[in-house]
Copies of this chain bind each other. A is one copy, B any other.
Amino acid sequence: MIGIDRIIENALLEDIHTGDITTQAVVPEKRSARAQLIAKESMVLAGIDVAARVFVLVNPEVVFSARFPEGALLSAGDVIADITGDAASLLQAERVALNLLQRMCGIATLTARYKQAVAGTGAKVVDTRKTTPGLRQLEKYAVRIGGGNNHRSGLYDAVLIKENHITAAGGLSVAVERARAFVPHTMKIEVETETLDQVAEALSAGADIIMLDNMDLEMMRRAVTLIAGRSLTEASGGVSLETIAGIAATGVDIISVGALTHSARAMDISMLLGE
């Protein structure tokens, strides 16, 4: 949790900085309070442990009790969690906790919709590196909670040979060869292709994963047929809730969706404070 703690501490410093002056001025010290987190719309719950951690880092004596587990499908009005402790602490943690939780639930909920759209096919829905700078770990976690899978975490933990790499290397096959010689044996080699000729070359070069980038459905189907299970196939580009079912029907193994993280809407959650 050390990495997560640093994210939360920085978020708290960003918001509270030199002090919550309204609370300091107005709220008597040592007043205890009770609060609830309430879902204002239906959603997939993701990030409840992170939200809890925000309160605890503000004040270790706050007690945070979640009523639902991660991944639960919530309805509008559901009480997500009960929180008790020092009133000022609850007020100071509120916004950071909600900002993180609303975003994570938004991503999980959107992922679940994409996942549902491909139900009945074997296609995995995966995220991309199009995440919020500083929050990638949390966002990729939310994708998993929503039923999706993760693509690589960054440039360091997987090989993805794109057009630009192929050009710079002087050819697809040589690029695959260099990658295989260089990277840990634990990593597969993925190659981006845009034409069937490139698919064929990637296949003969021994690519473990072939990305079918911005292909139309017809070409994608032919690529899948050509590959015939000899490598994993990943569809990429132009994926939306409208198009994903058609893409899945081509038989690709994996569909990567940037929108899961770069364009998810925050879910509506609020904190009600009583005494």
Q: Which A residues fall within an 8 A CB radius of B?
A: 2-3, 7-28, 31, 33, 57, 87, 91-92, 95-96, 98-100, 102-103, 124, 126, 129-137, 140, 144, 149-162, 164-165, 167-169, 175, 178-179, 181-188, 190, 209, 232, 234, 253-254, 262-263, 265-266, 273, 275
A165 near B26 with CB under 8 A, answer yes
B133 near A7 with CB under 8 A, answer yes
B182 near A25 with CB under 8 A, answer yes
Residues A253 and B167 in contact in the complex (CB < 8 Å), given A135-B134, A137-B18, A156-B153: no
B168 near A186 with CB under 8 A, answer no
A158 near B186 with CB under 8 A, answer yes
**Which residues from chain B contact A92 at a C-beta distance below 8 Å?**
155
A184 near B150 with CB under 8 A, answer yes
A25 near B156 with CB under 8 A, answer no
Tell which of A31, A161, A262, A275 has the most Cβ of chain B within 10 Å.
Answer: A262
A178 to B28, CA, bound (A): 11
B209 near A186 with CB under 8 A, answer yes
How close is A205's CB to chain B, nearest CB, in angstroms?
12
